Every structure is written in C-alpha cells, then in structure tokens.
Structure 1
C-alpha cells in the first residue's frame, strides 16, 4: 500500500512536470488568441484545477481539453492572420512607396547636388572671367595711365613753351596796341585833315539842285538867270567851273556844282538863294563826311542832346539843349562832347 502511494506520487510529479511546459506553451499561444476565446479559456481553468485535485486521471484529461481548446483558439487566430499573398502585396506596396519616396529624395538630392555643382562651376567661371578681365583692365589702365602721364608731361612742356610765347605775344600786343593807338590817332587826324582840305577846296563852291536839264543846255546861262532874278552882274570869268555831277536819284535832275573864283563872288550869289528858289535850290557844297555828320546830329536819337546843327565856313556847329555852341569834327565823339 505504501509502495502504491509512492508510485502514484511519482506519477503525479511526472505529470506535473510534463504539464508545466504544456501550460507555458498554451499560455504563450493564449497571448495571441482573441480576447473572447482567451476569456473562455481562462474561465475554464478553475474547474480543471478542481478536477485535478480529485484525481490524476481527471487532471490529464482536463489538460488535454485545455490543449485542444488552445489549439482551436490558435486555429481561429491563424484564420485572422494576414496571408502570404497579402504580405507580399503589402511588402510590394511598401517597397513601391519606399522606392517612390527614395526616388523623390534622390531626385531632390541630385537636383540640389547638380545645382550646387552648376553654381559652383558658374561661380568658378565667373571668378576666372572676372579675374582675367581685372588683369586685362589693370593692364589697360596702366597703359592708359602711362599714355596720359606722357601726354600730360608733353602738355606741361608745351604749356611752358606756350606761356613763354604768350608772354612774348603780350609784349608784342602791348607794343602793337600802342602803335595802333598812335596809328588811329594819326588816321583820325589824317581823315580830319583830308576832310578839312576837301572842304576848304570846296569853300567857294555852290551846289545847285532841281535845275531842269535840257539837251544843248549851256550851264553858263546860270549867270544870266542870276542877273535877271537878283540884279547881280556876274562876269563869266568869276566862275572857274560849272558842271553836273553823277547822282543815284533818277527822279530829279543831276546836281550842278558852280566853282567861283573868289569867296566874295560866291557870297554875293548864295545870299540870294531865297530869290532864286523858284528856279533852283542853292546849297553849300559840303563834303560827304560833313553831310553825314549833319545827318547824324539831326537824327532822332540825338534830339535829346542837340537843339540845332548847321554848316558854316567849312565847319559843322551844334547847339546843345543847354544853349552851348560846339564845333564838331567828323572824328569827334559826339556824345562825349555834348554830355560834358
């Protein structure tokens, strides 16, 4: 009896040793089993424990049932596990997405890399070109600077020479101005003297205007007309010359110049000009310069300075607005004389 109990005890221990790994394995499977089946398995464990207490055979049968139940749950779980084709499809999709993402990343990295390389090459080329141009410009600037320096030196030398020449020319100009002033004074004096001499040579002349011309006319008829109108007897020998002079006025007869032998004979006739005005007009025979001087003095722009102007005995006289009389020569400064 004692031997039998010892044998039963050993069997129990052996079964317990065998059931421990099985339980561990079932427990491991149960971690992967759905919660509904796991709850059923867990709920059945207390009953199996009670049966195990009653007898060893019942314990073995309960363990077998538990293993079957675990296997059933495992089968259900396996049915819900993804199949190999699904895994392949998932892997393919993941790999495709990975390839696409990798392709995009590679393209972006490649684009950035290419851009950086291109920019680096362009930058390098630009730097080389700028360096080359800088060197060329430096050489050109050096050449131009040298040329300018040479030119400036040449200009400085020319300037010094020109300054010397200018100094000489200034001295010459000063001398020439002095000479020119002297020449102008002499010229003015010569013109004034020439006009005076011409006027002096014409002091015994009378200029006749508006004496009608006719063919075969003898100008010495002048003596007869004077005698008839004034009663003055003129000897033909008292007239040195009588003739007409050219005129640009084609609307009137050409003027006549009568040159008397003496100033007394001329004076005796010229004083009767009012008596002879119906036949012709008699005037003093003045030079063209004196005539121009008279026109200038009688011009409108001189009316504020000149009261009257006239010719007498070879000279031009003027009466200013202050009542002062002046003798004016053709080379005089009229404004300076009248404003003095």
Structure 2
C-alpha cells in the first residue's frame, strides 16, 4: 500500500512540475507579448505624433497659400465696382449704360477713357445680372463710390459694391455674425471691423482669431 501511495505521490509531483514548467513558459510568452505590445504602442504613438505634426505643417502651409492667393486675387479687383439693379437692355453697351446711370443718378461724370472694361456677369436666378465695372485707377473708383449712398437711396433699386474675393466676403460675414463686432466692411483691398466696445477700426485677415484680436486691442 505504501509503495502505491509513493508511486501516486510521485506522479502527482511530476504532473505539478510539468504544470509549473508549462505555466512558466506561458508566462514568459505573455511577458514577451506584453513587451512587444508596449513597443508597438510606443511606435504607434510616435507615428501618430509625426502624423499630427505633418498635418499641422500641411494645414499651416495651406493657410499661408490661401492668404497669399487671396492677397494676389484682391489687388486686381481694387479698381472694380459691381453695379446691381441697372436694367438690362437688348444689345446694350454696358459702358454707355454705366456712364448714363452715374450721371443721372448721382451727377458723376465718367468718360470712356476712365473705363477699362464693363460687362454683365452671372447673377441670381430671376434677377437683373450685375455689371462688373473696371476703372482706370483708385481715384476714379473713389469718385464713384463716394456716391454709393446716393445711388442706393434711389427708388430704382440701384446699388454699388466692391468686387470682394470669396474669402474676404466670408470673413465679412463671420465678423458681422460675431458678438464682439458692431460692423464690418471692405475698403481699398482690406477688411475692417469696429468692435462693440471701441470706435477704433481693426483690420482683419482671413484666418485671424476674431475674439483674440479684439481683446488684444
């Protein structure tokens, strides 16, 4: 009986040793996988950091490119005027119609030599197409735009406006919808605004942080 018990105990011990060895091997494998997993996490974190840095660089580059593009686009428009509400005539000469309108509506004398180009451009469906007028220089444009209010107040619904880039137009809308801004406008190629707490005008660019810029004044 003692011999059988000893044999049984020996087998149990052998099984326990094998189990311990197996457990040890498994733990070694788990530890190895854990280390590999941690190394992969560190590599992924580093890759994500690099990707975020690259995205930031790309975003900054795109912003710089858009600012430059907007800058380059707005200057050829400095001598442009958009005329809204001028009735369109069959086979009209836009330059002649503009000269006539400005004289009749606001007593502005404009001659052919002061006009570089004048033509209709696409407008909103069902409305009169605007005229894009390009004049010789900013002095001529100022002479016309000084009569903007006079022309706007006419019953015929005429209106003069600057030829603003899409990005500057979006900026003006963003400013006018901001709680700290009382009014925003376009002048001589740039966008300006007046805050609700100050009479000073502030010049804005397309990616300016409005709140920060107003509060820094």
Looking at structure 2, the residues matched to 169 and 282 of structure 1 have their Cα atoms a distance apart, in angstroms, of 57
Counterpart for residue 336 of structure 1: 212
Shift of residue 181 of structure 1?
2.2
Counterpart position of 1:284: 162
Over 3 Å counting, the alpha-carbon distance change for 1:253 and 1:154 in structure 2 is farther
- Asked if 1:259 is matched to 2:139, the reply is no
| 2:98 corresponds to which of 207, 211, 222 | 222
Structure 1 residues 160 and 227: CA distance shift in structure 2, 3 A: same
Correspondences of 1:177-192 after superposition (within 5 Å): 177-192=52-67
Q: How far apart are the structure 2 equivalents of 1:317 and 1:308? A: 9
Alpha-carbon RMSD? 2.7
Measure, in 1, the Cα distance between the counterparts of 2:56 and 2:167: 22
Structure (1/2) with the larger strand percentage: 2
1:236 aligns with 2:112: yes
CA distance in 1: counterparts of 2:94 and 2:33, whole angstroms: 74
Deviation, 1:199, is: 1.5
Distance 2:103 2:37 in 1: 78
1:105-124 pair list within 5 angstroms: none
SS in 1 for 2:148: coil
Alignment match of 1:319 (pick from 164, 185, 194): 194
Shift of 1:215: 2.3
Partner of 1:295: 173
One of 272, 287, 291 as aligned partner of 2:147? 272
Counterparts of 1:231 and 1:307 in 2: how far apart (Å)? 32
Aligned length: 190
Q: Give structure 1 stretches of 5+ with no counterpart.
A: 1-141
Gaps of 5+ in 2: 1-18
Q: Give the secondary structure class of the aligned counterpart of 1:264.
A: helix
Q: Greater RCO between the two (CA within 8 Å, min separation 6)?
A: 2
Deviation at 1:160, TM superposition (A): 3.2
Could you report, residue by residue, the CA deviation over 1:185-225 in whole angstroms, capped at 9, with x for unpaired residues? 22212211211221112111101112222322221121222
Confirm whether residue 161 of structure 1 aligns to residue 36 of structure 2: yes
Look at both structures and tell me which one has the larger radius of gyration over its CA atoms: 1
Normalising by structure 1, we get a TM-score of 0.50
